[in-house]
Structure 1
């Protein structure tokens, strides 16, 4: 019963917080965290403790998988160096600087590095909520960094915890080998599983079974990688990126539509739930602590949060110049970004539930059976840094983006128009052959041909207007009028769909048709509406 109560409370808070965030025009993670914190102190609801394994082995694979399916592999390849430096080099640098500050604040070196590893990675969940505000290149770099850096941080975390509890003795060379092995093993597992998934899905001809396989895929990638002490994070991301390249020719259209709906809703709920649960966790984090301990934690939190932010800013404003000095190729000069353009990505360094889950996973005792000194401070500082960064950076990020004066990538819209033109042209060119193959009457072929020709004319007008080739105001107005008429026609068709739906529902209410019949007809109407409205963007 307790679990059901928590589930209902979290669901209600996700719904209310998401609505409130839109009304107040605030970052959803910040609003959800605040609601969770407030509700966590309500008698009978507080005291929720989030099991670390739930985040690391249930939430994380699912979220990483969907992110990897909706990110641009081409853009990752183009900016692989920047992404690799951020997801590996910056994580190591952050862990080191945080460890130095934490040691100065009183933690032992092993526990200081535990805190550094916990706070080193950015949070993919928090980053995904603001990535849509950025142009394509900046958005991809930020998302890709947050996908991969968890793998680096969790390797460092495992080593630091082992040293802290006295079960491991390893130096810098050992850590480096563990990182290499973790990444290599994760990549191998991800590639092998992606190929196996493709072969299995070739043989599945039921939409539901295809999507059962889709749901299982991230966990099938994560689990074996972790069992062989490789990176489950890297395995899931590798598997997802591989499937984006080869599975589009294997997965059926119905399965893709169903899968997209499932994963979009699921990841939305998981994202929101994580921030609510972090807020609810505050009660357990501060319970039983004296005022002196809390003030010590607050002071340490501010110092560590400042260290995290300064390290990211310093890295982002020194490493590009190092790269420029070493790489003078003309094509690299074209990709250079100034201080303003780099600033949003540097400022969006949120920490989230993965950091808190890692802090909660720190053992309470050493291998000798004694208490692990510093664990409470690590947990308190981790929670504090998550809150501080979400509040400070979350509230100021829109202003930072405006200051950066980033321009949206025009190539994205140009590529969309190109794809639609080529797709329509391919259909028109294949019309005669397909009609002959299927034995379609000429009258039907003519109707389809007319629809293709109409669409080709519309696409040509869209391209001409987008290119700015029409200078004469009268010609431009005439072309815009044609497109406006097409848009009005689409609105008319959409309006008529509402009348169709009302009729179908009335027939069901009158018991003239069965509910099953109504669902099938409504599915057809929904498909037509999606065709008229178009598909929503991923970001």
Structure 2
């Protein structure tokens, strides 16, 4: 038997150590997510704190977060998944506020940071603008998780989600302009504006083309495993090609996801949809959780790099920039909300002006996240002439500090703020109205199916028994719809769901006993279990959406 060389043993030990760290992170991810559910705090906040705690445990090796891992591997599936889950109709209906936040607010914030850091702490204009581009885009994960849990009005959720999809593109383009200006010492506003418009138009067209090709390919193969594999490849194709040619990649990925969201339901099979939902939910859960854990881990390496900078300078810069990004968002959202209505009669008559409380909540959700840290880490170490990149370590620490302050500070206080302002009440009323429309749509769909059945019986020779079975199926589904949405109806449907779960559990026990007794084989047991699993998943789907069905 051939023995391993000392080099091979050391290499194997290094691999085992990294795998042990990975398993530790998975365990912490699961435990922290469970704790977040128990204490009703956004998981991202606890994961960030857990990552910081782990980073300073004695003996824990330092973990470097490669910036390309986020920008090239992690960001595309996150953006794509959120885009597919987004409603194309609602995105278009709220395009003005989304654009004002995703483009206007990001540029305004970047400029505000540049002005403040230039005049108050002496950063050069290019470095100040670069720092502004890094910290300008709010994260979408943590505030949206809180918004959905609190039951905020649908329009607020849509606007925040749409902003989170598009603002990274604006920030990344500004970031590249700023880095290029520092590296070359030259900047042209006219050229940059033209490039921005060209990137925007080109990536939208490319993203729609990728979405069209992806849907046709998936419809052609008609195999769930291959279709899900193609769905995993789609965001990387939409992102990598524009990014490689100087674009952001984000806009193309968003356009691709929105196209698939609108056109996919009629081209994607039911089996693929069921398996794809579970697959993508797990992928996004792991990516988001690991991301915030690793961001916390970065604090140790950032502190080691910034030892040459006075602590007072770091603290002043961090607090200043954190205050600027919060204040700048509030300074932008109120004029952006009410000025268009003052200037346009068409907007006033078409849209009801939101309350100041709702606008305040939108302004309060300026939480920064992984993209800000990734772009800071991606800064070059040196200029073309070999001199150090100006203020790189300061930028890196300030970016992390802004993430920590906004995520923990704003994230923890957002639920109390929403409760105090009473914004969630409007969301609950809106939810009842949506559920009433859903019930009506379900009844109309069942009626349309029965009409279709009558037409089919005229053209096909169907026995009375088959027709009776089909009608009985629709009668049962129709009877499951509640007649009203009052408290008694909610209580009755909740009790019915609980009883159905108990009945499903009883069926599972009986089927398992039949298997052990040898009366059925494993294949039959799996088929029966799949039907029971689908029925239970249907109950979970209704409960997760707080639907009254």
**Rounded Cα–Cα distance in structure 2 between residues aligned with 1:158 and 1:292:** 26
Instruction: Note the alpha carbon deviations across 1:80-120, whole angstroms, 9 max, x for none.
Output: 11111111111000000111222231322221111100001
Among residues 56, 71, 79, which one is paired with 2:71 in the alignment? Answer: 56
- Identify the residue that residue 472 of structure 1 maps to in structure 2: none
**Rounded Cα–Cα distance in structure 1 between residues aligned with 2:46 and 2:437:** 36
For residue 105 of structure 2, give the secondary structure of its aligned residue in structure 1.
helix
Instruction: Note the alpha carbon deviations across 1:28-80, whole angstroms, 9 max, x for none.
Output: 11111100000011133241110001111111110111101111222221111
- Identify the residue that residue 65 of structure 1 maps to in structure 2: 80
**Rounded Cα–Cα distance in structure 2 between residues aligned with 1:340 and 1:150:** 26
- Identify the residue that residue 442 of structure 1 maps to in structure 2: 464
1:500 equivalenced with 2:507 (yes/no): yes
Among residues 29, 32, 37, which one is paired with 1:22 in the alignment? Answer: 37
Choose 127-136 or 142-151, whichever is displaced more.
127-136
**Rounded Cα–Cα distance in structure 2 between residues aligned with 1:484 and 1:338:** 32
Choose 135-144 or 74-83, whichever is displaced more.
74-83
**Rounded Cα–Cα distance in structure 2 between residues aligned with 1:219 and 1:175:** 26
1:202 equivalenced with 2:193 (yes/no): no
- Give the drift of 1:338: 2.3
Q: Is the 8 A contact 2:143 2:411 kept in 1?
A: no
CA RMSD of aligned residues (A): 2.4
Change (3 A) 1:203 1:42: same
Change (3 A) 1:491 1:447: farther
- Give the drift of 1:125: 2.3
Alignment of 1:101-120 (within 5 A): 101-103=116-118, 104-120=120-136
- Give the drift of 1:317: 1.6
- Identify the residue that residue 48 of structure 2 maps to in structure 1: 33
- Identify the residue that residue 232 of structure 1 maps to in structure 2: 249
Among residues 352, 365, 374, which one is paired with 2:369 in the alignment? Answer: 352
**Rounded Cα–Cα distance in structure 1 between residues aligned with 2:465 and 2:24:** 59
Unaligned runs of 5+ in 2: 1-14
- Give the drift of 1:444: 3.5
- Give the drift of 1:298: 1.7
1:143 equivalenced with 2:161 (yes/no): yes
For residue 95 of structure 1, give the secondary structure of its aligned residue in structure 2.
helix
Choose 122-131 or 287-296, whichever is displaced more.
287-296
**Rounded Cα–Cα distance in structure 2 between residues aligned with 1:182 and 1:35:** 39
**Rounded Cα–Cα distance in structure 2 between residues aligned with 1:46 and 1:335:** 55
Q: Is the 8 A contact 1:127 1:143 kept in 2?
A: no
Choose 105-114 or 279-288, whichever is displaced more.
105-114
- Identify the residue that residue 186 of structure 1 maps to in structure 2: 203
- Identify the residue that residue 272 of structure 1 maps to in structure 2: 289
1:384 equivalenced with 2:401 (yes/no): yes
**Rounded Cα–Cα distance in structure 2 between residues aligned with 1:20 and 1:528:** 29
Change (3 A) 1:93 1:280: same
- Give the drift of 1:178: 2.0
- Identify the residue that residue 471 of structure 1 maps to in structure 2: none
1:521 equivalenced with 2:528 (yes/no): yes
For residue 221 of structure 2, give the secondary structure of its aligned residue in structure 1.
coil
For residue 353 of structure 2, give the secondary structure of its aligned residue in structure 1.
coil
- Identify the residue that residue 172 of structure 2 maps to in structure 1: 154
Change (3 A) 1:143 1:438: same
Choose 327-336 or 116-125, whichever is displaced more.
327-336
**Rounded Cα–Cα distance in structure 2 between residues aligned with 1:328 and 1:403:** 33
1:257 equivalenced with 2:264 (yes/no): no
**Rounded Cα–Cα distance in structure 1 between residues aligned with 2:500 and 2:411:** 41
**Rounded Cα–Cα distance in structure 2 between residues aligned with 1:82 and 1:25:** 30
Unaligned runs of 5+ in 1: 469-475
**Rounded Cα–Cα distance in structure 2 between residues aligned with 1:523 and 1:488:** 24
Q: Is the 8 A contact 2:305 2:393 kept in 1?
A: no
Instruction: Note the alpha carbon deviations across 1:145-176, whole angstroms, 9 max, x for none.
Output: 0110000000000111111223x622221221
- Identify the residue that residue 7 of structure 2 maps to in structure 1: none
Q: Is the 8 A contact 2:97 2:336 kept in 1?
A: no
Normalising by structure 2, report the TM-score. 0.89
For residue 329 of structure 1, give the secondary structure of its aligned residue in structure 2.
helix
- Give the drift of 1:9: 2.3
- Give the drift of 1:415: 2.7
Change (3 A) 1:307 1:170: same
- Give the drift of 1:439: 4.5
Change (3 A) 1:141 1:5: same
